[in-house]
Amino acid sequence: MSDVQEALGKARRGVGVAGSGRVAGRRNRGLNRGGLTLLLLVAPSVFLLLLINAYPLVYAASQSVHKGSLIATGDFVGLENYVNVLRSEAFWKATRFTLLFTLVGVFGSWVVGLGLALLLKTRIPGRGTFKVLLLLPWVVPVVVSSTAWNYLVATPDSPLPRLFTSLGFDTPLFLADPTLAVVTVCLFKVWVSFPFMMLMASSALTSVDGTVYEAAQMDGAGRRQQFFGITLPLIARSTYISWILMTIFCVNDFPTIYLLTGGGPVDATTSLVVLAYRTVFQNFQTGPGVAIAFLMTATLVVISVLLYRQIRKSAVE
């Protein structure tokens, strides 16, 4: 009994049961030396990454509080650029379109992607080939996709307007009418984004145990009850992650809009990122343009934090 108590006492003091604490002490010193060595090896890479990412951020923050240009920092004006941007009608018009573009891009592509993922989960002929074909809108460069859509809808002689005319409708100006341009750009975003959502949903659906559905069927649950009571809750974590990523993609999406409409007509499809680009590189107003970019970043951080909390809740549940 005394041997057991002595062994327990040595364990509490950090001493080995069969000997003194010298071995443990040597191990701790070895681990400390190894950790220090790893830290010294990693330090140059970490410093380089911080330099590459932190310097442009600090420099951009400095430009946002100065009244300068691309070649000169200019005079310090404090928060005047932010105030002027928030008072600008162009900023709020771009904000409204960015919000609409993001909502349609996120939830439109999610609905289409989830529907196709559920379809591909069933046993349909040529499922592998069908899945590869569905990835093409995402794999093909956006320059090629936008060129194809321009060919389809840009002019009255394009195939889609001619089809409407042959059916007895007025010739639609998809990229010249503000409302139709907004609809076209949003549909184009859904077109190029749904494969990403489909892959995320397919990956999440494969992790769902099929016995859960069998038990639900035995309890008399229908397909709708299974979808809302089993499928959506079990893939909720992956869904929130895809929403965060797609929100970032939509808000920061410059080529999709600029290549298709250039932000027109009459600024109907000008998003915040397009407005920031025009302000800096066309109007040469660096301060307001960078201020728009920082306001976008702050909004994305808030949205990401809110959705991340939902991820943690779904993980706990």
CATH number of the domain encompassing residue 94: 1.10.3720.10
Of the candidates 190, 171, 218, the one whose C-alpha atom is nearest the C-alpha of residue 114 is 190
- Which pLDDT does position 8 carry in this prediction? 45
What three-state secondary structure class fits 207?
Answer: coil
CA distances from 274 to 13, 117, 127, 138, 261 (A): 65, 33, 39, 22, 11
The count of structural domains within the chain is 2
Structure confidence at residue 272 (pLDDT): 93
208 and 276 together in one domain? yes
Instruction: Please say whether the beta carbons of 190 and 109 come within 8 A.
Output: yes
In a domain, 73, yes or no: no
Assess if residue 38 is contained within a domain.
yes
pLDDT digits (tens, 9 = 90+) for 144-183: 999 999 999 888 888 988 998 888 888 888 888 999 999 9
Evaluate if residue 316 carries a pLDDT over 60: no
Pair 25, 174 in one domain: no
Distances (CA, A) of 22 to 4, 8, 17: 21, 17, 12
